[in-house]
Structure 1
């Protein structure tokens, strides 16, 4: 069985009082934990509006790490300060439900991942249509996924040893995910299928608690995006077994791919894309796409993406729309093969 996941009117504030009000509003957001290091000089130039990036994931996840690394550059390119709001829950449905209700004026955006097109295959009903209730703007790029274990709970150091442990004790070990039917669930389940072994699935409400319990030893293994766990791999809190792509990551070349370790059909990577609410004007979608491309092309962001192991290649809104539909059809088949129970 082969699993293939492809990579891929501003308000003018001219008076001192107006400027103070703008700064006070932004200050309140910052104290709420949502402000993401945006350039305040934009306010001095007269713009008191902010662009909200609603992320349907928790802080510290792969998508969160990728967006926060570019937040300052995004603010400069978009011409407005950027606020990042994490709204995790239900595999990403909570945050996306907020996005689809926003005005299609380009001031509320989101960055979604593979999960967005998996929803229809996992949930019997959704509070939104993943295709018709959003405007695809650009698929920014892809990120490596890594199969990891807790070294204190599992002595395996490679795929062969891990498979041997799982075959010796079927359904004894647990694997974590960020939620039932999420890309992290599918990635782990597909590894088990390819290796013809069994383990128990423990779904969590997001990446944060998943990583916490992996490190704590409550669960033994899982698949995560490389940017979310680099520090834990370096510290030794987690051990990498293999990378899910078809080539090693330049950010962690010492980690072999799962494919080169005896499971040649295993190829799983994550992708991330900017979307807006439905009915966003085409001209606005193109403007935002150009700004995102410019932000991720700045030297400081390119360096950050390289360190995280991400591949960046922002496409057009038209290409993003086609990609979403093709990925949705692909995942419908993969979810069925993985035997994911509908929620």
Structure 2
């Protein structure tokens, strides 16, 4: 009798384990939480790929924006979710920056999440309002040096990668300007267009249409190389700041303790989704470089990036409550 009970319990446990991957493949939608506002570069990527990734997952993929506190609000929702594959997060550099800039965190940015894949990177671009009398790095630096009190630079929030990219530009150019943080990319871009702020760093997919229309000026790409989506825009590095190199990466995460089989299934579904012709075309059009990593490499990348941005945050003296 004890042997029969043990066998029955073992069978029940095995069935429960086997049911985990199937749960996300049923009729229940999978939430993809974005800890950032609509209109950001990561948001553009998620919405371009959601249908294809959903097909690969075998369930609708619902993109949900939960911005706030530099990405902490949305990330916290992922950390608190059940590890069943029905709640995932699409995070960016901010995820590993936050521990370096916030005095207190409601979760461990490394330990409370399961890295699934770093999908790739989206180019960032330094732009200026059309009313700013500068069209390149040299002209912008000269203008701000001459009248530093007249210039504001925008970011999508205190302590974000956009903020740190702006701080890095000021530091390497030897200039100063007033920082104006916004609650997300959308409001930031609106004020850049309206002339309330003079310049700022934005993800290329989120600002490219405004660059093409002439509503803003592209001063320089922030990465080490030009983007195939906008080859006419020179990098900041080639315009006299050779050490300037920042790009916005995008990664898929789940809650901690996501079963290994589910991690692999979700990883493979995102890879297949991003390999679909319509998504490949959309990513190329936006200038994103998609190169999905393994879950193991994603975990190593998170740790190395956390160390990198901790150093940068200290240099910029960015500390938030």
TM more than 0.5: yes
| 8 A Cα contact 2:21 2:262, kept in partner | no
Which structure 1 segments of 5+ residues have no match?
Answer: 1-8, 13-41
Q: Rate the CA distance shift 1:130–1:266 in 2: closer, same or farther, 3 A.
A: same
1:236 deviates by 1.3
1:104-253 superposed matches below 5 A: 104-152=83-131, 154-253=132-231
Indicate if the aligned counterparts of 1:11 and 1:48 stay in contact, CA closer than 8 A. Answer: no
Q: Aligned partners of 2:33 and 2:262: how far apart in 1?
A: 18
Query: Residue 45 of structure 2 is aligned with which of 66, 71, 75?
Result: 66
- Number of residues of Structure 1 aligned to a counterpart in Structure 2: 302
Q: Shift in Å at residue 248 of structure 1?
A: 0.6
Q: Distance between the aligned counterparts of 2:110 and 2:37, measured in 1?
A: 23
Task: Verify the 8 A CA contact 1:121 1:342 in the aligned structure 2.
Answer: no
* Counterpart Cα distance in 1 of 2:54 and 2:21: 16
The alpha carbon displacement at 1:10 in A equals: 8.2
Contact 1:11 1:47 (8 Å CA) reproduced: no
Cα displacement (A) at 1:341: 2.8
Local SS of the residue matching 1:295: helix
- Counterpart residue number, 2:11: none
Per the alignment, residue 17 of structure 1 pairs with none
Return 5+ residue gaps in structure 2 as ranges: 1-18
CA distance in 2, matches of 1:134, 1:171: 43
Equivalent residue number for residue 284 of structure 2? 306
Cα separation, 1, equivalents of 2:312 and 2:271? 31
* 3-state secondary structure, aligned to 1:80: coil
Match of 2:232 among 244, 254, 263: 254
Residue equivalent to 2:9: none
Structure 1 CA distance for aligned equivalents of residues 319 and 263 of structure 2: 36
Question: Which residue number in structure 1 is paired with residue 56 of structure 2?
Answer: 77
Is 2:311 aligned against 1:326? no
Assess if the C-alpha contact under 8 Å between 2:20 and 2:262 holds in 1: no
After superposition, give the CA deviation of every residue in 1:181-223 in whole Å (9 maximum; x if it has no partner): 1000000110010100000000111111111111111111100
Partner of 1:264: 242
The answer to whether the Cα contact below 8 Å between 1:226 and 1:308 also exists between their aligned partners in 2 is: yes
Contact 2:20 2:84 survives alignment (8 Å): no
The CA distance in 1 between the partners of 2:158 and 2:267, in whole Å, is 31
Q: Which has the higher helix share?
A: 2
| Equivalences for residues 92-103 of structure 1 within 5 A | 92-103=71-82
SS class of match (2:89): strand
Structure-2 separation of matches of 1:112 and 1:340: 21
**Alignment partners' CA distance in 1, 2:75 and 2:276:** 28
Quote the Cα distance in structure 2 between the aligned partners of 1:180 and 1:10. Answer: 38
State the alpha-carbon separation in 1 of the partners of residues 189 and 69 from structure 2.
17
CA–CA separation in structure 1 for the residues paired with 2:237 and 2:194: 28
Aligned 8 A contact 1:53 1:109 in 2: yes
Conservation of the 8 A alpha-carbon contact between 1:53 and 1:82? yes
Shift of 1:48: 2.0
Question: 1:132–1:10: structure 2 CA closer, same or farther, 3 Å change rule?
Answer: closer
Question: Deviating runs (4+, > 2 A) in structure 1?
Answer: 9-12
- Larger CA Rg, structure 1 vs 2: 2
Determine the structure 2 residue equivalent to 1:31: none
1:104 CA drift (Å) = 0.4
